[in-house]
Structure formats: structure tokens, C-alpha cells
Structure 1
Amino acid sequence: MVGVRDLALPLRDPADLDPLLDRVGDARVVAVGEASHGTAEYYAWRAALTRRLVTERGFGLVAVEGDWPDCYRVNRSVKLREGADADPRDALDAFARWPTWLWANDEVVAFCRWLREVNAGRPPDERVGFYGLDVYSLWDSVHELVGWLREHEPEHVDTAIRALRCFEPFGEDGAEYAFASRFAPTSCEQAVVDLLQRLCEGRGRVEAATDPEARFSAEQNAAVVVDAERYYRAMVRGSAESWNVRDVHMVDTLDRLLDTADHKAVVWEHNTHIGDARATDMADAGMVNVGQLLRERHGADDVVLVGFGGYRGGVVAGSAWGEQVQRMSVPEARPGSLEALLHQEIGRDALLVWERGGVRPAELDRRLDHRAIGVVYRPDRERWGNYVPTVLGERYDAFLYLEDTSPLRPLHLERADEHVPPLAHAV
């Protein structure tokens, strides 16, 4: 009988990813996770895989768990757009929403500099983009949209201003708006829906000289405003609804990006978003996620989900929501967990790849606790927290296991004026 030890392949350098590229085949979407938001090796291996997908398999965009306006600035830099940052590091260092270290870190800088170099040798319409999928940037997206409309489509500015004024009494505070909409008879919902409708009505009348990607960005900022308003209203109800609003928005955004051109996409998010929710206890709570939605919308054959896990090491995170980022030790995985099993059976860095529905080790069909570290981490809670019950073989299509890990290196410490979004889900 085949065991997980027999499935384990070497994982030493990017050439060892060949079996994973074979597993990707002609898939249009490869979603690559991370077991924490603050571990250097997860970011480095994810970047190594993405480099090979871009150069060898023709993938044309990278979409990440970040805000659209911030990531669009990075996108302009890596695509060498006129007036953009000459060094992607400057665009990444400008990230100002806590937790900034998710993208403002050395590993992402190295990848984005590499991507800019690759794009420099390509025609503008073949350059690989870098986009944000998340929903948190309500106010930033409104301000970006108003500025774009003033310059390009002034007939829609009044509608955008009405939406902006609706939110002004809440001081750009999502929590304050959420609680106010919970107890007040009205909300800003209609204002933002009108804004999106007006903008989309004008899509077919755009002059040929208009920058199509810039207008797409304007439409996306409007879509963020619509879904962020829904997200903040759902947040106060204390259910899975806000999580679902967020993950549906991220997949909707990815689908809009895919529809703009015949691209293939790499998605970078936490395991909790990437791994199919139906293979975890998230489904019991009524939660869906990006991995599940991708398989449902595009079919399992056109989507490859790649997870990560580590046995011990280090991480950067906050001890509470909005707290200063710090380096922390990650203890050995608790007994009985997936990571403890892989440590016992393999004991080295390894790549595991399998076919859906094929013969595979029994361990892949067992429900085991799988460590998940978000932007908030308390090592002292390892005994009862930080783990998601998971059927590995159903949650992912491949898995990268690392024995020892090290903390990510942020570009900067959190700034005093940094925006901290309201807490709903800490992953």
C-alpha cells in the first residue's frame, strides 16, 4: 500500500518543481497558498513557482490577497507604465493598511523587480500584471475613482461625490459605518450601486484613445466600493456572511481580470482562502472560499490548488489585531496534526503532488488538524487554536512541506498613521 512517504518528492531548488508543473498542465488558474502571512519560505517558494509559470507556461497575471488601489500602483510599476514607480519597492513600501508586511516585504520586492525585468523585454500588451483582489479599500477606492472620473468622465463625478459624501460622517472608519448601518434605517448601499451602474453604462462609449486598463481599474474601484459596503454591513451580524462576501468578491475580481484577455492567472492568498473549504470544518459553518469557488466556476481540471505547511520555525505577526508586527517563534506542530505526521513520516522538505480521484495514500483522505497562522498569532495558544481540520487530498492538488521556516522581512515597521481595518476574520 502506498504511504505518504512514498509520495514525497525532493524540494531543494526550483528545478524540483517539475512534477508540479506537470500537474498544472493546461490549467488556467493556479492558486498558491501560505500557511502563514509572515513566513519567508512560503513566499520564496510561491515566487519560484510563479516565475516558472510565467516563463514556461505563459501565465499572464498575478492576483494577490491585497487591496486593488495599492496593488494597481505595483502593477503600473512592473508593467513600466508612464509615470509609474521605476522601482517596485517604492510602490510596495507605500502600502499603508495594516498589516502592511503581507506585501511590503523583501520577498515580494525581489519578485516584482524580476517581473519588471521580464516585462521590459515584452511588448506592452504582453506584459504580466500584478493585481489586488481584496475588498477592504472602500475609501481609497472611492477617492481613486473620483480622481479618475474628474479627468476622464466628468459626467459621472456627481454620482461618485454623492457616494463619497454618504460615507463622510463615519470618518473613513469601517467599524463605525458597520455599526451605524446596523441600527440606522438607511445605509449607503443605494448610493454605491448607483455609482457602479452609471460607470458601467458608459463602458461602451469609451473613446478609442482611452487607456482600457485604467478604465478597468476605475470600474474595479467602483466594484470594490459596492462589495466593501456590503462587507462592512455584514460584519456586525457575527456570521459567515462577511467572510463569504469577501471571498466571492475576490473570485469575481479574478474572473473580471480573466475576461479582459485570454490570460492564465496565478493567485497568491492564505491557505484558508486557497484550500477548498468543503474539505475543512469551514463548510460546517456555512463558509465558502476562493478555492471552492474556483473549482465550482472553472472546473477542477482547469484549477490547481497548492497548499503549504511547516513543522517549526519563525514568523512575523501581531499579537493582537492592529498591534505592532514582531518576530515570533513557531513551536513544533502539535501531536496528531498533519504537520506532525509529515515530520514523522518524511522529516525533510518535500513536494507532494497527486491526481484527483486517483490512487493515493490513506493519509490524504484522513481529517487532520492543519496549522494556519494569520496576521495575528499567539504561540501560547497552539494547544487549542491555530489549526483547521483538513482532508489534505481534497483541500489541495499539491502540497509543499517545510521542516524549518524563518520570519518574513518587512520593508518597514507599522507607521503611526497606518489604517487598521475593523476585525472580522484574522486570516
Structure 2
Amino acid sequence: MSGSGERARPLRDDADLDPLLERIGDARLVAIGEASHGTHEYYAWRAALTRRLVEERGFGLVAVEGDWPDCARVDRSVRLRPGGAEDPRSALDAIARWPTWMWANDDVVDSLRRLRRWNAGRPDADRVRFAGLDVYSLWDSMHELLAWLEEHEPDSAGAARQALRCFEPFGEDGAEYAFAQRFAPAACEETVVDLLRRLCEERGGDDDPDDRFAAQQNAAVVVGAERYYRAMVEGSAASWNVRDVHMADTLDRLVAHSGAKAVVWAHNTHVGDARATDMAGAGMTNLGQLLRERHGTDDVVLVGFAGHRGGVIAGREWGAQMERMTVPPAREGSLEDLLHREVGHDALVVVPRGTRPGWLDTRLGHRAIGVVYRPERERWGNYVPTVVGERYDALLYLEETTPLRPLHLERPDEHVPPMAHAV
């Protein structure tokens, strides 16, 4: 499997990203992954690439694998909007859905403080946005939507409250709602879709276009989350697809609303094209695949990460307290093992167009650590069969990694979403 070293360029500082910037060219959508949700180096290099895209290439939107209401509060701080926190750390520290460490950590604080400073020197219309793409925030989005209607369209608020009343018996518990659908399928679907349709109708008024868009997006989250929780009873592939289609739809709406070029932050499992993995055989699509299908390969660049060994923050079970864990050397025969043996240093691999070296066109195990990680499963689990040259347009490889530094420990009263198939 020789030849991997020929494609790998040393990765030491921001300037070493030049070949990737050249590959990105005029693309308007750049999705940057991570091989875990708890590794400092993935976040730091992703931030470095994002800085260059914002400051040198005019990207105006950072859209992440996070909840819309949480990220909207962060956006108010980052764009210096009325009511926003003076320090993005305060908005991040308030995130209360497990796993909080994904966004409430020192690396994201540093990135967003820098983004706020960049925005402070620019007109309002040119400031870089920060937005969440995910689907979990059913009840938070309901509360945000109703509060907006009460203030801006009080004549509609009563009807909306009545439409959303069908969720009340489930006590803001997504698992209970999903379980109930076994006996009363599609219980709330018609009412929430109808509500979204009414909210998206053209209306008069002089309210802030961003605020109206946020209200419409909260309504879209209610629709998407209802579908997600209902799909959980059908199996992990169905709920996964609802979630990633929702993220792709949200990104499309954000780009249309803002007119901006967008950077996406999400796990490799969402960013890398699913068709190049065993996900396709399981009937699963993902964000990276959808972006390529909708926007074409010339306008979309997918960037993945890989690491050989080190440390990570994760939980041993869904909803468990975070731990600092050791990530052992990569499994023999895996992508990470190949790069360790043949490259042996931090490296950037830009996938060539057309003919590719053999290792980029060979199916190899590619480690994926989510919010749940069990190092003892390294021998038989934790790896996704992947054709790297088809899954990504570029790959950043790190020899040694270290855990993120969370802002706080998990709190006992925080919300843990129901588990389907998630990373």
C-alpha cells in the first residue's frame, strides 16, 4: 500500500493549509469534519482553516452540528446583536443539552472570540454568522417560536399554542414521544407542518428579517424533530436520514437567506460522503452526500480528519458523565495505521481529481469516535470502512492528539436527547 507518503504534505502551521485553500478555490460550501467530538487538535485545525476562509476568502457563515436555539444565542454574541453576551463564552457555557462539551470548550471559545473581534470591525450586513443545523431541540424551539409569536404576531400565537398542545402529554421527553408513536403514529405531524406553512406565508410588518427567519427555522426544527423522534421507532437508519436531511435543508435555507459562502462543522460521519462507506449499504445518507448531490462537486469541498493515538473527551454510555480517555494506537491495517507507518508525522492530504493512488481508492477502516467511546472495542468496533478518495476532498492526519478542555462538568439537570444512531 505504498504511495501514501507521496501525497502527504507536512502540517505544522496555518501556512501549510495553502494547498487546501488552492483546492477549495471558488467553492461556496466547505464542510470540515472531526474524527471525534472531544479532541483538541481537530477543533484547532478546523478553526485555523475557518479563519483563513473567513479572512481571505470572504466566507460569511459558520454552520455547525448544534441546536438552533443554543447557536442563535451564540450568534447574537458573535455578531454583536442586541441582547447578545459580550463574551461568547457566556453563551457557550449556558448550553444545557448533553454532550455540552462539544461546543462548551476552550477551543470553541477561542474561535468565536476571534470571530467576534473580526465582526466588530465590519458593518452589520457583512458580519459572519454562526448557526446550528441539528434537529434535537424540539421543546426549546417550540418555546422560542411561541415567544416570538407572542411579541410579533399575537393574533397567531393562540392558534400556534393550540397546534403544539398535542406534545404536552409527553412532558418534554423525546423518548416518551417516540415510544407513543408505536400506538398513535404521526400524532403531531399534521399540526406542526400546518403551523410551519402558515408561518412561512408572506406577511407584512417591519420586524427584523433575521428574527423572522429564526422563528421560521424554529418552526422547521419542530417539524424535523417530530419526524426524527417518530422515525426512531423505525430504526437507526430512518432517524439518521431524517436528521441529516434536516441539516442539509437548514444549510440551504441559511445560504439562501444570508447569501453567504458557508463553512460547516460536523463529525466526519456527517461530512464525508456516505456512499464511500458502509453507511450506503445500510440505507443511510448524510450531509456530505446531500451537499454533493444538491450543489455539485465543484461547489462543495469535504474535509476529513484522522488521528493515530492520544486522548479524547467522551462518555462511556449515552448520557454518561464525560471522561478523559486514552485513544490507543490505531488498529493494524486501518487508514490511521497506514499513515502512521508510511508518513509518521502530522500531514495534509489533498485528494487529486481524476486518477488517484491505490491507497486512496482502497477500502480501509477509518476510526470514528463519537460522544460515546469505549477503547476496549478497538479490536472489532469504532472503525468505518471507507474509500478515502471518494469520501473526502482532503484529509488532515494527526499523529498524537489531546483531549478538549470543557468549560464545565456535565450538570445533573441537563437534557439528554433520546439515542437513535448518533455520533
Instruction: Give the TM-score taking structure 2 as reference length.
Output: 0.99
Distance in 2 of aligned mates of 1:40 and 1:90: 20
- Structure 2 counterpart of 1:372: 368
Asked if 1:5 corresponds to 2:5, the answer is yes
Distance in 1 of aligned mates of 2:414 and 2:379: 32
Moved more, 348-357 or 115-124: 348-357
- 1:235-284 per-position Cα deviation (integer Å, ceiling 9, x unaligned): 01124111000000000000001101321000000000000000000000
Distance in 2 of aligned mates of 1:42 and 1:96: 23
Distance in 2 of aligned mates of 1:76 and 1:29: 23
Distance in 2 of aligned mates of 1:382 and 1:186: 39
Asked if 1:326 corresponds to 2:323, the answer is yes
1:426 to partner: Cα distance: 3.0
Asked if 1:385 corresponds to 2:381, the answer is yes
1:164 to partner: Cα distance: 2.9
- 1:22-61 per-position Cα deviation (integer Å, ceiling 9, x unaligned): 0000000000000000000000000000000000000000
Asked if 1:205 corresponds to 2:178, the answer is no
- Structure 2 counterpart of 1:41: 41
- Structure 2 counterpart of 1:288: 285
- Structure 1 counterpart of 2:309: 312
Count of paired positions: 423
Distance in 2 of aligned mates of 1:186 and 1:36: 34
Distance in 2 of aligned mates of 1:24 and 1:213: 29
Distance in 2 of aligned mates of 1:56 and 1:239: 40
1:191 to partner: Cα distance: 1.4
Structure 1 outlier segments of 4+, above 2 Å: none
Of the candidates 207, 227, 231, which is equivalent to residue 230 of structure 1? Answer: 227
Asked if 1:78 corresponds to 2:78, the answer is yes
Distance in 1 of aligned mates of 2:324 and 2:402: 9
Asked if 1:218 corresponds to 2:215, the answer is yes
Question: Does structure 1 conserve the Cα–Cα contact (< 8 Å) formed by 2:361 and 2:389?
Answer: yes
- Structure 1 counterpart of 2:135: 135
Distance in 1 of aligned mates of 2:422 and 2:297: 28
Structure 1 pair 186/18, CA: closer, same or farther in 2 (3 Å)? closer
Classify the secondary structure of the residue corresponding to 2:415. coil
Classify the secondary structure of the residue corresponding to 1:312. strand
Distance in 2 of aligned mates of 1:239 and 1:413: 29
Of the candidates 269, 274, 279, which is equivalent to residue 277 of structure 1? Answer: 274
Asked if 1:254 corresponds to 2:251, the answer is yes
Of the candidates 404, 407, 410, which is equivalent to residue 406 of structure 2? Answer: 410
Identity among equivalent pairs (%): 75
Classify the secondary structure of the residue corresponding to 2:31. strand
1:186 to partner: Cα distance: 5.7
Question: Does structure 1 conserve the Cα–Cα contact (< 8 Å) formed by 2:237 and 2:421?
Answer: no
Classify the secondary structure of the residue corresponding to 1:404. strand
Distance in 2 of aligned mates of 1:205 and 1:97: 34
Q: Given residue 166 of structure 2, which amino acid in structure 1 is its aligned partner?
A: C
Question: Does structure 2 conserve the Cα–Cα contact (< 8 Å) formed by 1:2 and 1:360?
Answer: no
Asked if 1:167 corresponds to 2:163, the answer is no
1:2 to partner: Cα distance: 8.1
Moved more, 153-162 or 57-66: 153-162
Asked if 1:153 corresponds to 2:150, the answer is no
Of the candidates 348, 353, 359, which is equivalent to residue 351 of structure 1? Answer: 348
Distance in 2 of aligned mates of 1:216 and 1:355: 39
Distance in 1 of aligned mates of 2:391 and 2:67: 26
Asked if 1:399 corresponds to 2:395, the answer is yes
Instruction: Give the TM-score taking structure 1 as reference length.
Output: 0.98
Structure 1 pair 305/186, CA: closer, same or farther in 2 (3 Å)? closer
Asked if 1:335 corresponds to 2:332, the answer is yes
Distance in 1 of aligned mates of 2:21 and 2:190: 46
Classify the secondary structure of the residue corresponding to 2:156. helix
Distance in 1 of aligned mates of 2:33 and 2:420: 20
Distance in 2 of aligned mates of 1:185 and 1:103: 34
Q: Given residue 205 of structure 1, which amino acid in structure 2 is its aligned partner?
A: R
Classify the secondary structure of the residue corresponding to 1:321. coil
- 1:54-76 per-position Cα deviation (integer Å, ceiling 9, x unaligned): 00000000000000000000001
Q: Given residue 62 of structure 1, which amino acid in structure 2 is its aligned partner?
A: V
Q: What is the RMSD of the two structures over their aligned residues, measured on CA atoms?
A: 1.1
Classify the secondary structure of the residue corresponding to 1:311. strand
Distance in 2 of aligned mates of 1:332 and 1:2: 20
Structure 1 pair 146/323, CA: closer, same or farther in 2 (3 Å)? same
Classify the secondary structure of the residue corresponding to 1:205. coil
Question: Does structure 1 conserve the Cα–Cα contact (< 8 Å) formed by 2:88 and 2:112?
Answer: yes
Distance in 1 of aligned mates of 2:304 and 2:325: 22
Asked if 1:268 corresponds to 2:265, the answer is yes
Question: Does structure 1 conserve the Cα–Cα contact (< 8 Å) formed by 2:30 and 2:263?
Answer: yes
Question: Does structure 2 conserve the Cα–Cα contact (< 8 Å) formed by 1:159 and 1:194?
Answer: no
